[in-house]
């Protein structure tokens, strides 16, 4: 028969294991939660839509919202996003070529 001290040790061990399990199962933030948005986040799906044009370069986090991916032009260079992938871009002319994206301006 177990003694009260054995039960306390077993209970303490279970509490410690539960705390360790909780620490290990912490969820990572979603790539769609664009924490660095300075001016808010929005969805864009109009082909040829200008995301940004300006004299100074600006940075955006862009995420494909479709399993088909998306394509963005950054200063005339093509950036392709695969199935629900995200990337950060920086440029003076950023245009959506194809697909549907979620994007937000990153802080300077």
Q: Which residue has the higher pLDDT, 92 or 39?
A: 92
> Who's near 40: CB < 8 A, 6+ residues apart?
104
Residue-wise pLDDT for 10-61, tens only, equals 444 444 444 444 444 444 444 444 454 555 678 899 999 999 999 999 999 8
In this model, does residue 97 exceed pLDDT 90? yes
DSSP 21-89: HHHHTPPPPPTT--TT-SS-EEEE--TT-EEEEEEEEEEEEEEE-STT-EEEEETTEEEEE-TT-EEEE
User: For the whole prediction, is pTM greater than 0.75?
Assistant: no
Average pLDDT over residues 70-77: 96
In this model, does residue 77 exceed pLDDT 50? yes
Q: Which residue has the higher pLDDT, 92 or 38?
A: 92
């Amino acid at each position: 028969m177990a003694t009260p001290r054995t039960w306390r040790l077993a209970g303490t061990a279970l509490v410690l294991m539960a705390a360790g399990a909780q620490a290990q199962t912490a969820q990572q933030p979603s790539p769609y939660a664009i924490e660095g948005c300075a001016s808010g986040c929005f969805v864009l799906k109009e082909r040829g839509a200008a995301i940004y044009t300006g004299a100074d370069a600006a940075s955006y986090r862009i995420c494909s919202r479709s399993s088909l991916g998306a394509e963005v032009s950054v200063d005339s260079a093509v950036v392709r996003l695969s199935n629900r992938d995200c990337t950060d871009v920086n440029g003076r002319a950023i245009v959506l070529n194809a697909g549907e994206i979620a994007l937000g301006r990153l802080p300077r």
